[in-house]
Structure 1
Amino acid sequence: MTSRAAAAERQAQITRLLLPYVDAPLTGDVFVRGVLPLPHPAEKVRLVVGEREARTPERLRAHETRVRDPYEVLGVLRELCTGTHLYSGDDVSTLMGMMLVQSEDPPPAPPGPDGYTLALLHGLTGPRPRGGNAPGPRLQGFLYRDVDRLRLYCDYLAPSDPYGVTGIDVRPSQPLDELITALPTLIGHQADSGGDPHCQALADLT
């Protein structure tokens, strides 16, 4: 069983990840309209969706799913909101005036190029683990360079950073942990900026 603290942090990560979909469609004309935590030790979360104009319970639908990796939750929710799904009477009930669906989770929808990019950007801008003295990379900007090529503009969190902004070309489809681990070693790379006026140096991690 996951500890209460770990479950609460995972819940917070899921909430942060879903915030952009309050104003941008998750898929088609479906928007996120709520994220509801369940008391420990349930290890589940309820994700509320509806059309852009949906604000009242009768126009909203909640899906209950396991708390797990936030990007997997996002993929499951996108799959639940895509196409037609049939639910039995045992799967559907009412919650706070909304329809609540408690069916078995489908496999997550593939993230696609933008999903991989979103995961990487969230990984660089999310809260950092406490402890340790080494400064981490700070994301100052980004730019698509191709279908699976992204330029990150990073510097150090330390105020005494001597390097300025480094442009780092990455492939978002690469393993996320490997990319984030490698970034600090590339800050201040002594290569030329390649004509990019937005950085002092440029590194290629593709």
Structure 2
Amino acid sequence: MSEENHEIEDLQAEVAGLLLEFVYAPLLEDQHVRGVLPAPSGAPAVRAVLGDRNECVPARLTVYEIPLTADDELRTAHDVVALLRAVHTGTHIYPASSVTSVMGMELYLVDPAQVEEAPFTTDDWAATLLRCLTRPSMQQPSPKLRGFLFREGGVLRLYMGNGEAADVIAADVRPGGALTALLAALPSLLGKEWRTSDATDDPHCRYLVDLTDW
């Protein structure tokens, strides 16, 4: 298998893992992910099956095929989510050559050039951050995430631990585009005294670190 094929395979697996979250939580409105299919014949694409929650009848499901390549680069799993939300919102006209069927389900071949991607939401950023903290990489270990709470004003409170049951430090953050930098800096930022304050209204931590302006 070529390096490019390996990259496509890895990306298809990443998309499947990300879309798994939308089996129970809706991708948008009342639409849930009912399946994720690798495009046949090794094509560099992924097929996402959308429908109502718990729906299994093929005639009531819709499949969208999203190409994973863009010029000489690969799309990300989040790009796929953005495209899926976009194509399932509003009215889109597909040429006859882009509409077919597979396994009894209607299949649409999406042309990303004709679609404006839906914006990444605050909850999307928050979910990405939480996912990274619960599955830290070997290259970038992080303090253990022991809890979280969505706060007003787009703030996410993280409850971080270091192995001591009573030693929980809370950190208020604003999830956004610089997640990699935040994850790398988080272990040292948790100990910055000038950022700490007693969380008198929060009995779930020893103290609170304000990282909302980081």
TM-score, length-scaled by structure 2: 0.82
Give the structure with the higher percent helix.
2
Worse-matched range after superposition: 82-91 or 176-185: 176-185
1:155 to 147, 157, 161: 161
- Quote how far apart the aligned CAs of 1:54 are: 2.2
TM-score, length-scaled by structure 1: 0.84
2:144 to 119, 138, 152: 138
How many angstroms apart in 1 are the aligned matches of 2:80 and 2:91? 19
- Quote how far apart the aligned CAs of 1:92 are: 0.5
- Quote how far apart the aligned CAs of 1:155 are: 2.3
How many angstroms apart in 1 are the aligned matches of 2:171 and 2:44? 37
How many angstroms apart in 2 are the aligned matches of 1:154 and 1:12? 29
1:194 to 190, 196, 199: 199
- Quote how far apart the aligned CAs of 1:66 are: 2.4
Alignment pair present for 1:93 and 2:93 = no
Check the 8 A contact 1:35/1:46 in 2, yes or no. Answer: yes
How many angstroms apart in 2 are the aligned matches of 1:193 and 1:13? 39
Partner of 1:34: 35
**1:137-164 per-position Cα deviation (integer Å, ceiling 9, x unaligned):** 22211112223211111224xx5x6983
How many angstroms apart in 2 are the aligned matches of 1:71 and 1:103? 16
For residues 40-119 of structure 1, the aligned pairs below 5 Å read: 42-67=43-68, 68-105=75-112, 106-119=115-128
- Quote how far apart the aligned CAs of 1:44 are: 1.0
Gaps spanning 5+ residues in structure 2: where?
Answer: 69-74
Partner of 1:203: 209
Counterpart residue type for residue 183 of structure 2: I
DSSP-derived class of the 1:90 partner: helix
Percent identity at matched positions?
40
Worse-matched range after superposition: 29-38 or 19-28: 19-28
DSSP-derived class of the 1:147 partner: helix
Check the 8 A contact 2:199/2:206 in 1, yes or no. Answer: no
Partner of 1:10: 11
- Quote how far apart the aligned CAs of 1:168 are: 0.9
How many angstroms apart in 1 are the aligned matches of 2:5 and 2:137? 18
How many angstroms apart in 1 are the aligned matches of 2:108 and 2:46? 12
Alignment pair present for 1:179 and 2:186 = no
Count of residue correspondences: 200
Check the 8 A contact 1:148/1:173 in 2, yes or no. Answer: no
1:169 to 153, 156, 172: 172
DSSP-derived class of the 2:116 partner: coil
**1:114-155 per-position Cα deviation (integer Å, ceiling 9, x unaligned):** 2222222222223x434x5x7422221111222321111122
> Aligned in 2, Cα 1:104/1:135: closer, same or farther, shift over 3 Å?
closer
DSSP-derived class of the 2:175 partner: coil
